[in-house]
A and B are shown apart, each in its own frame.
Chain A
């Protein structure tokens, strides 16, 4: 998607494109995303999956996330929250909501960013020194609220 001419691609087109990319597995295979509900015509609710990076405490785990692309997406960043419990800087311990200010992709959001970018950024955060050794809750737990 080129932004170089300042062309604003309509939201739905963008999201459809992202849907297709998610289904085609664009990227390195460490994150995955798709619509939460295939009948969601508004393309608002998305599901993401991050595979915990190797050599970190998140290794061996798959983290499920919910991504909500609001009506002003992609002008505004999506809301992201973890479904699988995780101990990561920038993620609220009790709700799994990702703090927009803590993730640079969300804090400095640009139109050209996408769900994939956010997921990959979160995965990168898992590999940071400050995060890679944080003790984690047992596998399989999810946030209930």
Chain B
């Protein structure tokens, strides 16, 4: 067996698999940029045997492994001795993931969760046929489109409109790609060429496994994909942001009409769960965690309150934030889904109907909310969209639906007391939504920023002096804190809980009281009481070790990205003039 020069039992044990090739067992260090392992292998083993061992240890498939020794790539047919690999030497390993080619970095090709093998494939072919230059560039939008279920992917197409650019900027967190590069890509005529090729686009889209799943479940989608006319229209849309918005608006209107039909709400909801959720799940890869799980977790009051409150931000009323954020979702998801599901659910419309339901479980929401919180301008853009208005109006006019929607919010479900409260407040909130004052506050970025600051202050106060809070709140904190939502508990800025009162109508005692409670709950429920600096201590150290010496900028980037180092680095790099 393999006991000839096995130095220790461990060696012998693992070397038993190599027993077929007798010979001295050597210990070879296999090093990836991330870690390193010692592998015992027979000295006259072949490279493929070695790869077998490695694939077990590194939990990767053999064909994903690329081995490099002394500057040469080891081919499967070679032997270790051929390359002079002896005991104690180090072989470098690169693991190509199925989607992205290198495991340790997903960044550049945008969609970690999507099948990029398909996209480099056709893209490379395209590249070779069309010339060498921009092919990697083309493969990028290819992969972008491949991740059709990803909200951010479309946003990353850099569609040019203010909304999208901002969304793109802020949704980069997980994506880590350079926005400038993307806009350059978009301008590249080859890219446009490629995008106008419906077959190619279809191929890309279908290559995404999530899309495939989606298509299985919903044949409509595959119909749609197979319809060249539609594909072309979609690509037109993608290229033309104005058109996209127009289409979204139409959809929104259509859906809000649908919603008012008895039973329509349910249909929409069904559509949502069937279509939307998987798409959002696809997007989830991008966004990592599920922001709304944070909400859901805080199911017990006072946790429920902050969750509920957070839900409601950034608009000063319960349906506002969900509307707005769903509007944002709509903005992005509709962009991503509109082309895929023009006949199917409009996330925007559905959001409005199923406010708490599922929408908040979408990872897209989190990033949206975060964007909103970070970017009041975005809020303004969203609010000024006519569809937002129409949606809010329809909700206001239809208190039945509104209450139904609200009650269906799973967060409420666990707390009947809240439901009661909400029900009482319903008419008030409805009115508030209509209140132009409220709207104007929301559209005023500075006001929102101020509110955010207040929020922050409250939060700090809450933690510092819990007893102080009620009295503070009672003193009429400017209500309607329509600041952006920030769902993740770690994020210090601005989770709003302003839904209670409109800025001007702060005199309404009922509203005020409710808001006060919410604020309290919110502040009480906030998970972290540390300053961002303390929380991001570790990340800051890492950043400065990497050479980012501007601590201020680092901190801001970290706050903006919620402690995500990679995304923070992107922000820092992106802020430099290129």
Query: Chain A residues in contact with chain B, CB under 8 A?
Result: 19, 22-25, 28-30, 32-36, 38, 46-49, 51-57, 59-62, 64-65, 129, 132-133, 135-139, 141
Contacts and interface: CB of A to CB of B under 8 A. Distances in A.
20 contacts: A22-B71, A23-B70, A23-B86, A25-B90, A29-B33, A32-B71, A34-B69, A51-B68, A54-B104, A57-B181, A60-B96, A60-B100, A60-B102, A61-B101, A62-B94, A65-B71, A135-B134, A138-B127, A138-B135, A139-B120
Contact of A29 (B88, B92, B177): B92
Interface majority SS on A: helix, strand, loop or mixed?
loop
B134 A49 contact: no
Nearest to B127: A138
A61 B135 CA distance: 14
Contacts of B109: 59-60
B293 interface: no
Interface in B519-578: 570, 576, 578
Given A29-B32, A129-B576, A139-B124, A55 B71 contact: no
B203 interface: no
Nearest to A48: B71
Contacts of A59: 101-102, 105, 107-109
Contact of A23 (B90, B124, B128, B184): B90
Contacts of A137: 132-133, 135
Interface centre among B100, B132, B576 (most CB of A within 10 A): B132
Given A24-B88, A25-B89, A59-B108, A54 B102 contact: yes
Given A60-B100, A129-B578, A23 B69 contact: yes
Interface centre among B70, B109, B128, B184 (most CB of A within 10 A): B70
B69 A64 contact: no
Contacts of A32: 68-72, 92
A136 B91 contact: no
B33 A25 contact: no
A29 B104 CA distance: 12
Interface of B: 29, 31-33, 36, 66, 68-73, 84-86, 88-92, 94, 96, 100-102, 104-105, 107-109, 120, 124, 127-128, 132-137, 176-178, 180-181, 184, 570, 576, 578
The 6 closest A-B pairs by CB, nearest first: A34-B70, A25-B90, A54-B105, A60-B101, A47-B71, A55-B107
Contacts of A136: 135-136
A5 B50 CA distance: 44
A56 B73 contact: no
B545 to A, nearest CB: 13
A7 to B, nearest CB: 27
A123 to B, nearest CB: 11
A54 B546 CA distance: 14
Contacts of B31: 25, 29
Contact of B94 (A22, A36, A38, A51): A51
A30 B102 CA distance: 12
B102 A28 contact: no
Contacts of B135: 135-138
Nearest to B34: A29
A55 B72 contact: no
A76 B68 CA distance: 27
A38 B85 CA distance: 11
A16 B129 CA distance: 45
Given A25-B29, A60-B100, A138-B128, 17 more contacts: A23-B86, A24-B88, A29-B31, A29-B33, A29-B36, A32-B92, A47-B71, A49-B72, A54-B107, A54-B108, A55-B570, A56-B108, A62-B94, A129-B576, A132-B178, A135-B134, A138-B127
Nearest to B97: A60
Contacts of A141: 132
A69 to B, nearest CB: 13
Contacts of A49: 68, 71-73, 92
B110 to A, nearest CB: 11
A30 B33 contact: yes
Contact of B71 (A29, A33, A129, A139): A33
Nearest to B137: A135
A13 B85 CA distance: 20
Contacts of A29: 31-33, 36, 92
A25 B102 contact: no
Contacts of B71: 22, 32-34, 36, 46-49, 64-65
A61 B108 CA distance: 12
B504 to A, nearest CB: 47
Contacts of A54: 102, 104-105, 107-108
Contacts of B124: 138-139
B136 A57 contact: yes
Contacts of B33: 28-30, 51
